[in-house]
Structure 1
Amino acid sequence: MARTASFDRSIVVRAAMDVFWSTGYEGAGIADLERATGLRRSSIYNSFGSKRGLFDTAVEQYLDDVIRPRLQPLSGPEVAPGAIVAYLEGLSAALADPASLSARSGCMLINSAGSPIGHDAAVAATVTAYRSELREALGRGIEARLPTLDARAADRLADACTGQVVAALALARIDSASASAAIDTALALIEAA
């Protein structure tokens, strides 16, 4: 008879997410995951199937706990005119705060895209879907902020701002000043439109 799990799955996945976020999939050893989660290797494998299964679950939790709450004001039924600026300023503040995991580690998905695990088709699809979700949210924010802007100009602006956000997230862990400058550029583009 199999034993039932006697741990809080969301707490375990969050702890694993922090390890993957900080060190990447390849850098996260099973011993690191055991230490962070408090689970033994056998429990990790019994509960998640593999290190990869735990990673995939952590990515979903990252999207649900970190990404989507930040994008929610841009994704809901009503988008306020100031939501895009609030999003960008909030992201800039998070990337500037040395105590935040975002400032120390950037974006878990962008980091994964640039590592060997990024070549995996499922991971690549998740990163692509995230970028599309980000682009859609920023586009809605731009439409709310600049309702009279020509549709083609709004699309180009949303693409440019998405590129700046992705650049900021990629740079956060190695060059916080450049990450902040990328967000400032997105804000300036919106202001100039």
Structure 2
Amino acid sequence: MGRTQEFDTVAVVQAARDVFWDRGFEATSLAHLEEATGLRRSSLYHAFESKRGLFDAAVQDYLDTVIRPRLAILAHATDGRAGLAVYFAGVQTVIATLPDDSPRRGCLLLNSAAGFAGHDDALRQVVDGYRAELTGAVSDALALSRPDADTEELAAEARLLTSLSVSALLLARVNREEAVAILDVALAQLDRW
């Protein structure tokens, strides 16, 4: 008869998520995960099968609790331009106000893309899926605000705004001021359209 799990899986996944977010997959050791979660490696392996299993659970939690609520701002906007402004201003506020020692700087997925996602097909698909989801949400908001605009023009604008968001989130870990400035450019671009 197996042992009964005596921990909150969500709390463990979110604690591990923050370690992966801060350190990246490759630089995160089992000792780091044990310290963050309060669990021994045997319990982590029993619950998640491997470090990668825990990472995959952390990525799914990140998509569900961080990414999709941000994108919901765009999906539920009745005014596309206003929704985009709220989205970009919200990302900018997070970047500008997080303490320098916060593990949540930048984007877990993009931080991973700069690391081992280049060597891991499954993670590459998750990161590209996030990019496609972000681009789609931005594109839908643009189309809502400019229903008569040319489809190709809207696609180029969505790609530009997505690129600015991605750039800011990547730079947030190393140059907060530049990340905020990039988001200022995105917000100014909205005023031009």
TM-score (norm. length: structure 1): 0.93
Q: Distance in 2 between matches of 1:55 and 1:103?
A: 15
Where do 5+ consecutive residues of structure 2 fail to align? none
Give the Cα separation in 2 of the matches to 1:103 and 1:182: 21
| 2:151 counterpart of 1:151 | yes
Aligned to 2:185: 185
* Residue type at the aligned position of 1:7: F
Tell me what 2:33 maps to: 33
CA contact (8 A) 1:113 1:119 kept: no
The equivalent residue for 2:79 is 80
Q: In structure 2, do the counterparts of structure 1 residues 148 and 191 end up closer, same or farther at CA, with 3 Å as the change threshold?
A: farther
Deviation digits for residues 84-143 of structure 1 (CA, Å, limit 9, x no counterpart): 110011111111013388886210000100112441000000000000001011111212
Which stretch shows the higher mean deviation, 143-152 or 153-162?
A: 143-152
Output the CA distance in 2 between the equivalents of 1:146 and 1:99. 37
Task: Say if 1:73 and 1:79, in contact at 8 Å, map to a contact too.
Answer: no
List aligned pairs for 1:102-117, cutoff 5 A.
Answer: 105-117=105-117
**Amino acid corresponding to residue 9 of structure 1 in structure 2:** T
Matched, 1:141 2:141: yes
Which whole-Å CA distance do the structure 1 matches of 2:103 and 2:8 have between them? 27
The range that moved more, 166-175 or 67-76, is 67-76
TM-score (ref. length: structure 2):
0.93
Superposed displacement of residue 73, structure 1: 1.9
Q: Which residue of 2 aligns with 1:161?
A: 161
Partner Cα separation in structure 1 for residue 101 and residue 165 of structure 2:
16
SS at match of 2:6: coil
TM-aligned CA deviation for residue 186 of structure 1:
1.4
Q: What is the match of residue 50 of structure 2?
A: 50
Q: Which runs of 4+ in 1 moved over 4 A?
A: 100-104
Deviations 1:46-65 (A, max 9, x none): 00000010000000000101
Distance 1:104 1:49, change over 3 A: closer
Conservation of the 8 A alpha-carbon contact between 1:102 and 1:172: no
The total of aligned residue pairs comes to: 192
Q: Which has the higher mean CA deviation after the structures are superposed, 159-168 or 115-124? A: 115-124
**Counterpart AA for 1:90:** G
**2:170 partner amino acid:** A
Percent identity of equivalent pairs: 44
Report if the CA contact (8 A) 2:18-2:103 is conserved: no
For 1:14, the equivalent position in structure 2 comes to 14
Structure 1 partner of 2:171: 171
Q: Is the 8 A contact 1:16 1:36 kept in 2?
A: yes
How far did residue 192 of structure 1 move? Answer: 1.0
CA distances 1:152-177 after superposition (whole Å, capped 9, x unpaired): 21111111000000000110010111
Q: 1:159 to 1:117 in 2, by over 3 A?
A: closer
Aligned residue for 2:99, secondary structure, equals: coil
In the alignment, residue 187 of structure 2 is paired with which amino acid?
Answer: L
Q: Quick one: which amino acid aligns to residue 71 of structure 2? A: L
How far residue 180 of structure 1 moved from its aligned partner, in angstroms, is 1.0
SS in 2 for 1:3: coil
Q: What's the secondary structure of 2:25's corresponding residue?
A: helix
